[in-house]
Chain A
Amino acid sequence: MSQNFDMINLLPISLLIIIISLLPFKEAARTSILAKNWMHLWKSTTNVEFNEHHFSRSNEFQRNDFLKFITLWIENHHQNSNIEKFSLTLSDPETDCEIVKRCVDFATQHGVKDLALNFSDTDWSDEEYDEPEALFELPTKVYEHKALESIKLFSCGFVATKLIKLHSLKEVSFGWMELKNEAIKILLCNCKKIESLSIKNCWMSTNFECSGSDLSLKTLIIDSCKFYYPRLTINAPNLSYFKYYGNVAYFKIQNSLHMNEVDINFGLEYQYPKVDEFIHKVITDFKHVKVLTVCSFILQVLSNALGPLLVEDKLNTRHLKLMTSLHNNEYLGVLFLLNGCPMLELLTFDLGFGRFLDKAPNEYYSSESKVEVEVEDEYSSDGDGDGDGDGDDDDDDDDDSSYVGDENQIGFIDYKNICQCLKSSLKVVEINNFTGAKNQILMLKFLIYNGSLIQRITINVSKEGVVNVENYHKIKECVMTIRPRASTDLEIFFFLKN
């Protein structure tokens, strides 16, 4: 039902500007062609982003156009209007350092609260980089701009002892630089309002320590960083969200009772670790956490190291997210976790992630969710779903030969008696990037046969993975007819996604 008048004319300009300011800068610019009275409205946006990537045409970066645009913008901007967010992404900043300084002046003069400077080189990649020096130094003006609440510096060097003057800082993000633990310590100790710290593609030659009994820190993200000493000490009593992506690291966690969500992803690892006992600690360190995301590396190491490590420690996890391909090397790890989370309510599978870690350290190949694991289905000819009695259900058996390449390794079917959550708490299951591969169907069967409280299973099928619509319907049919169903309330939803 649409009214027959131009309703947006009723909204006062101040509201229109708020709405435009909530749009990305590029989108805001597009509103100029909506109508005559919109032509200049967008220029009052409080969210300004000068990003060189917007000015690339057929891979050729139109640097001059970009710089001209910035200069004109700054020159023509109303003195009175304020800027809340300012972001500059420019490679090779030294060549045009005057413009960079002008940008920073412009932002601070207009009261910017959220400042982002990204000078990183687009050629640098997550996995290989030579630890380049920061390409620019943070202009002095910024240290005096006390209104700043959020700062993001990528390849932009700074002096920690000066940065602490910014007492209003709530969010801090560093990238593509060398960081010293001293800098982090000073920052966290002096800027008491910091709630979020994110470090990406940084390298540290010192230990990483984030501790203090009065830290306000709620969010900590460590992404693709290189640690000469990969021992991370975290003691932040208000920490609620912790995400780690990179190589194997050893965490020393204290005061973690408030942690709500943890995501540990050792996705930069290619090889099975020489020593694997630490993996158990990685899991038990976070046993209070309600939402836990676990990667394929952890699942594989768990699967292999399980024998002596099958412990009684139960996790408090309510939502478990597994990044996995459900291949042979991961199964036992998956089961170990399901068994260890007796209060699990929601289970998510993000399929198609993770490499196949072979025990022979030099071999790996990227895992595809289409890799079919030849596993025999015990239930295919068994109408009443009881299954055969025998199998590898001996928990303490650490028989190496049963893990890699064993075609009858479907031990999980026999674990049904100990996954407490399947009987008492699991209500919802989500599967992303489902392709209908045998191992995925088997996991579904395991859950459906045993999950007596499951109310909903949502299956997001990847268009690429199923190849064609006919396949999709076949898979759907196969899943919908899985019987017996332990839960009388079960509803299964299928979605085809790009």
Chain B
Amino acid sequence: MAEEKSQASSSKMLTLKASDGVLFEVELNIAKEMKTVQAYIDDCEDIETIPIPNVLGKHLAIVIEYIKKTNEEYDAEFEKQWNMDDLQLLLLAANYLNISGLQECLCKAIAKRIENKSPEYVRKVFNIENDHSPEEEAKLRKEYKWAFEGVDKD
């Protein structure tokens, strides 16, 4: 009886509904990589369509593809295709869906892109408004002067 159930579940399909209404049919074992989805299934066994309210269709598509293809080689090239905005939205998706491998990959990619760049550059990238007054900034630069030597000018 248990064996039958597991055989059935490995080919069972599930539908994921992105925030903009786009639907994705995925195999159960793919969906299970998203721990959030797994928890959903655990709670309500017979569910067929799971809403993913925080993730746009275009990003959910990328996430699903990642789960299907992930390996050392794929991961190394994966992040290169996306711009900084997409990387962050993908990271939010990976975080919400609780996919640790993807989350790690994206965090590393973002860190790599801001490494060795000046604060001005990083602010631009993340769209951060500088709400430090010039005095406050000067004070911080002095306090951590050891960290501010030899910085890339962009």
Contact = CB atoms under 8 A, between A and B. Distances in A.
Interface in A12-54: 12, 15, 18-20, 22-24, 26-27, 29-36, 38-39, 54
A341 B69 CA distance: 33
B-side interface mostly: helix
B95 A15 contact: yes
B128 A35 contact: yes
Interface string A227-269: 0000000000000000000000000000000000000000000
A33 B91 contact: no
A8 B126 contact: yes
B38 interface: no
Nearest to B114: A23
Given A8-B127, A18-B107, A22-B111, A30 B148 contact: yes
B110 interface: yes
B146 A65 contact: yes
Contacts of B131: 35-36
Given A1-B85, A11-B88, A19-B107, A35 B129 contact: yes
B137 interface: yes
Given A1-B83, A27-B115, A35-B132, A8 B88 contact: yes
Contact of A11 (B92, B116, B140): B92
A-side interface mostly: helix
Q: How large is the interface on A (under 10, 10 to 19, 20 to 34, 35 or more residues)?
A: 35 or more
A55 interface: yes
B74 interface: no
Contact of A34 (B91, B107, B110, B123): B123
Contact of A7 (B112, B114, B127, B144): B127
B82 to A, nearest CB: 12
Contact of A22 (B88, B95, B108, B147): B108
B122 interface: yes
Given A7-B127, A18-B107, A31 B122 contact: yes
B141 interface: yes
Interface residues of B, number: 35
Given A34-B119, A34-B122, A35-B132, A6 B127 contact: yes
B151 interface: yes
Nearest to B89: A7
Interface in B117-154: 119, 122-123, 126-132, 137, 140-141, 144, 146-149, 151
A35 B147 contact: no
Contacts of A29: 144, 146-147
Given A22-B108, A31-B122, A33-B119, A15 B85 contact: no
Contacts of B128: 6, 8, 34-35, 38
Interface in B79-96: 83, 85, 88-89, 91-92, 95
A5 interface: yes
A11 B141 contact: no
B87 to A, nearest CB: 10
A124 interface: no
Nearest to A65: B146
Contacts of A34: 119, 122-123, 126, 128, 130
A468 interface: no
Contact of A30 (B88, B127, B151): B151
A355 B37 CA distance: 61
A495 interface: no
A7 to B, nearest CB: 5
Contacts of B148: 30
A10 interface: yes
A477 B140 CA distance: 52
A493 to B, nearest CB: 18
Nearest to B84: A2
A364 interface: no
A70 B130 CA distance: 28
A486 B115 CA distance: 44
B19 to A, nearest CB: 14
A3 B119 CA distance: 19
A15 B92 CA distance: 9
A24 B146 CA distance: 13
Contact of A19 (B92, B111, B146): B111
Contacts of A20: 111
B127 A54 contact: no
Contacts of A1: 83, 85
A53 to B, nearest CB: 10
Given A15-B107, A19-B110, A3 B122 contact: no
Nearest to A10: B92
30 contacts: A4-B127, A6-B129, A7-B85, A7-B89, A7-B126, A7-B127, A8-B88, A8-B127, A8-B128, A12-B95, A15-B91, A15-B95, A19-B107, A19-B114, A22-B107, A22-B108, A22-B112, A24-B115, A26-B147, A29-B144, A29-B147, A30-B147, A30-B148, A32-B144, A33-B140, A34-B130, A35-B123, A35-B130, A54-B147, A55-B146
**What are the 6 closest A-B residue pairs judged by CB atoms, nearest first?**
A22-B111, A29-B147, A8-B126, A33-B140, A54-B146, A26-B147
Given A24-B115, A35-B129, A54-B149, 19 more contacts: A7-B127, A8-B88, A11-B92, A12-B95, A20-B111, A22-B107, A22-B108, A27-B114, A29-B147, A30-B119, A33-B132, A33-B140, A33-B141, A34-B119, A35-B130, A35-B131, A36-B131, A55-B146, A62-B146
Interface of A: 1-8, 10-12, 15, 18-20, 22-24, 26-27, 29-36, 38-39, 54-55, 57, 62, 65-66, 69
